[in-house]
Amino acid sequence: MQELGFGLTVNQIRHLAYKSAEQSGSEHPFKKTKEMAGWFWWANFKSCYGFTLSQAENLALYRASTANREILNDFYTELENLDESLQVTFASHASHLSPHILELAAKNDVHIGNFPSHTTHPLQPLDVGLYKPFKSNWKKELDAFMHSHPGAKPSRVDFYSLRTPIWLSTFIPQTIINSFRKTGIFSIDRCAITDQAIASSLVTDQPQAHKQSTNDGNTTYKPIFQLPHN
pLDDT tens across 8-59, in order?
778 888 898 999 999 898 888 998 888 999 999 989 988 888 777 666 555 5
**Burial class of residue 183, CB neighbours in 10 A (0-12, 13-18, 19+):** buried
Mean pLDDT taken over the chain: 79
**Beta-ladder partners of 212:** 220
**Residue 188 DSSP label:** B
Q: Is residue 58 part of a domain?
A: no
**pLDDT of 173 higher than 90:** yes
Closest alpha carbon to 195 in 80, 31, 72, 82? 72
pLDDT of the residue at 117: 79
Name the amino acid, one letter, at 6: F
Neighbouring C-beta atoms of residue 122, cutoff 10 Å:
20
**pLDDT of 1 higher than 50:** no
Contacts of 15 (CB under 8 A, 6+ apart): 35, 36, 37
Q: Is residue 132 part of a domain?
A: yes
Domain shared by 83 and 127, yes or no: yes
Domain shared by 81 and 123, yes or no: yes
Neighbouring C-beta atoms of residue 111, cutoff 10 Å:
19
pLDDT of the residue at 104: 86
CB-based contact 201:66 (threshold 8 Å): yes
pLDDT of the residue at 226: 46
Contacts of 75 (CB under 8 A, 6+ apart): 115, 116, 119, 123, 224
Over residues 72-99, the pLDDT tens digits come to: 998 899 888 876 666 776 665 666 667 7
**pLDDT of 181 higher than 70:** yes
Domain shared by 81 and 117, yes or no: yes
Q: Of residues 83 and 184, which shows the higher confidence score?
A: 184
Domain shared by 30 and 80, yes or no: no
Most confidently modeled range among 2-11, 54-63, 169-178: 169-178
pTM above 0.75, yes or no: no
Domain shared by 106 and 176, yes or no: yes
CB-based contact 87:110 (threshold 8 Å): yes
What is d(CA 225, CA 78) in angstroms, rounded to the nearest whole number? 7
Residues in the chain, how many? 230
**Beta-ladder partners of 33:** none
User: Where in the sequence is the domain holding 203, given as residue range(s)?
Assistant: 72-230
Domain shared by 174 and 215, yes or no: yes
